[in-house]
Amino acid sequence: MAFKNYILVCAGTACESSKGIALYEALEKELKAQGVDAEAQLVKTGCFGFCEQGPIVKILPDESFYVKVSPEDASKIVSEHIIKGRQVKELLYDQDQSSGTSADSIDFYQKQQRIVLRNCGVINPEYIDEYIAREGYAALEKVIFDMTSDEVIKELTDAGLRGRGGAGFPTGVKWGFTKNAQSDQKFIVCNADEGDPGAYMDRSTCEGDPHSVLEAMTIAGHTVGADQGFIYIRAEYPLAIERLENAIAQAREYGLLGDNILGSDFSFDIELRLGAGAFVCGEETALLASIEGKRGMPIPRPPFPAVKGLWGKPTVINNVETWANIPMIILKGSAWYSSIGTETSKGTKVFALTGKINNSGLIEVPMGTTLREIIYDIGGGIRSGKKFKAAQTGGPSGGVITEEYLDTPIDYESLQSIGSMMGSGGMIVMDEDDCIVDVTKFYLEFTVDESCGKCAPCRIGGRTNYNILDKISRGQGKVEDLDTLKDLAQAMRKASLCGLGQTAPNPIMSTINFFEDEYMEHINEGKCRAGKCKDLMSYTIIEDKCIGCTACARVCPVNCISGEVKAPHVIDQDQCIKCGQCFTKCKFDAILKG
């Protein structure tokens, strides 16, 4: 016999610290005392996010969402909600907005809105029928049979959809260029060469909802007059490739790809092209070169691919996330889509939320959501109760957002104005244990590694900047180095051939802007406050505290700790590799890190 109600008590770490357990026990007691413990099951749950509003209680099946619930509220929840079936209004998340109808309150507390990820985690991605049952290929029907090309382009333009690869160019305008270009052949390309460290939005979309990409590309083919599409995806994504190939085969079988789609005179097909994992191939001209079988290196633009792209033919190239938006815009209309987001940036954005955050994950939020909402309401706050330092967006091309900008509504323009960028959607949260010089050095190392070497500003500028950062991280930097970094950054921005080189200095500029004091500490004091720069720190044993248990000496991988049993030990600083194992192992706080 199933229970009538289920009382879910959030017992995540943050709620636990704010008395989730005491609340659980109070509810347990009340259910028994009021004689209804057979009617409602009390359940501890994982973290629901929203930790600042904790402890949280959710009651199923009616989805009532109670916040800041104290153990004293337990009696009322049981007597009112469980026994009489009436919501306890003063505990609801928003007492004014949710007028008792639970459906409103669900939408209201949930900060996420899933357009791109609408089917991810819902359908079985290996069965085309499940996609079709959720309005799949209905947008394609509409485009082929009920809309003109100009209407489709107008719809996308009115919707305000902008490229989700990072640059944010209006998609409708791009399609318009290709449609109006005169050519015997045109192409459609999907950029699935996702390469930012820590980003996996496109992989998840291709794995969870491959048909949304195929449908959108077919729509583009019909709109601009192309009959062939390519998906350029990196070979490191085997599952995404498998699911896309399977989806293409099923779409062909159903006549949704191939000749005379749905009995019309429109024919279109899609093939995969596998990339070898070069980051520069995410740049569109390098990507197209790679599809053509050439070495993946960028060429100057203009001409843009929309006019002169693959094999010199007009080519629409969009990113996976951009594609996945399109069927919904066609079906629900531009007015619906443009009602979501900010003045200049419409719709939603998918972020891969990672780093020092409790609830890492793939999230999709309306443009204009603040970083604070993302980190605290969705992400559940910083891990281990540490202090937020900065969030990095835009990967190796982006910058950091600091605490003072936590309430900035995120869109293309606002991020740019604070020296970061939207990028493709990687969002890495850093806490006080992360060193800003070290992080910047990591990104520079990445872009130096991935630079194709074609143009000097990127090839030489990037390397020189990296060397300077390396020097600073070893405590050998000079104050003038910061000016050199900035000068080189300017030159790279202006003179590099493609986006990789133009944006590679962004992490430097952004972090010097916000964290100059930390750079100066490294330079002037030879100090790394986060303890990440190994050359600037040491481990020493405090003689008075060491009891000579030998635990540190036994764990040391390079045997550089010596001492008699029951006598204070000593670390040989010349041999020490600063792995920190002794520090972790010592039970007596006898090892000093600094």
Contacting other proteins within 196-235 (CB under 8 A): 200, 203-204, 207-209
Side-chain half-sphere of 214: how many Cα atoms within 13 Å?
A: 32
Nearest distance, CB of residue 267 and other proteins, angstroms: 12
Residue 36 interacts with other proteins (CB under 8 A): yes or no: no
Which of residues 65 and 175 has its CB atom nearest to other proteins in the complex? 65
The only residue of 21, 22, 132, 560 in contact with other proteins, by rule CB under 8 A: 132
The residues in 303-342 that bind other proteins, with binding defined as CB under 8 A, are 328
Nearest distance, CB of residue 275 and other proteins, angstroms: 17
Which of residues 192 and 288 has its CB atom nearest to other proteins in the complex? 192
Query: If 0-12 CB within 10 Å is exposed, 13-18 middle and 19+ buried, where does residue 554 land?
Result: exposed
Which of residues 142 and 463 has its CB atom nearest to other proteins in the complex? 142
Nearest distance, CB of residue 60 and other proteins, angstroms: 4
Q: Is the peptide bond between 210 and the residue preceding it cis, with omega within 30 degrees of 0?
A: no
Which of residues 262 and 565 has its CB atom nearest to other proteins in the complex? 262
Residue with tokens 């790394």: 528
The residues in 100-129 that bind other proteins, with binding defined as CB under 8 A, are 106-107, 110, 112-115, 117-126, 129
Which of residues 266 and 583 has its CB atom nearest to other proteins in the complex? 266
Which of residues 35 and 61 has its CB atom nearest to other proteins in the complex? 61
Locate all alpha helices (DSSP H) within 147-225, ordered by sequence. Answer: 149-159, 171-180, 201-208, 210-224
Q: Which two tokens stand for residue 113?
A: 């809105």
Pairwise CA distance, residues 33 & 311, whole Å: 77
Q: Which two tokens stand for residue 57?
A: 């209680």
Nearest distance, CB of residue 172 and other proteins, angstroms: 21
Q: Which amino acid is at 395?
A: G
The only residue of 177, 254, 266, 304 in contact with other proteins, by rule CB under 8 A: 254
The only residue of 30, 194, 284, 364 in contact with other proteins, by rule CB under 8 A: 364
Pairwise CA distance, residues 472 & 463, whole Å: 14
* 448-484 burial code (b ≥16 CB/10 A, e <16): bebbbebbebbbebbeebbebbbebbebebeeebbee
539 in helix, strand or coil?
strand
Q: Give bridge partners of residue 409 from the DSSP assignment.
A: 370
Residue 98 interacts with other proteins (CB under 8 A): yes or no: no
Nearest distance, CB of residue 107 and other proteins, angstroms: 5
- Evaluate the CA torsion angle 311, 312, 313, 319 in order and state its sign: positive
Residue 160 interacts with other proteins (CB under 8 A): yes or no: no
Residue 33 interacts with other proteins (CB under 8 A): yes or no: no
Q: Which stretch binds other proteins (CB under 8 A): 171-179, 252-260, 421-429, 479-487?
A: 252-260
The residues in 273-302 that bind other proteins, with binding defined as CB under 8 A, are none
Which of residues 144 and 452 has its CB atom nearest to other proteins in the complex? 144
- Evaluate the CA torsion angle 325, 329, 332, 337 in order and state its sign: positive
The residues in 414-433 that bind other proteins, with binding defined as CB under 8 A, are none
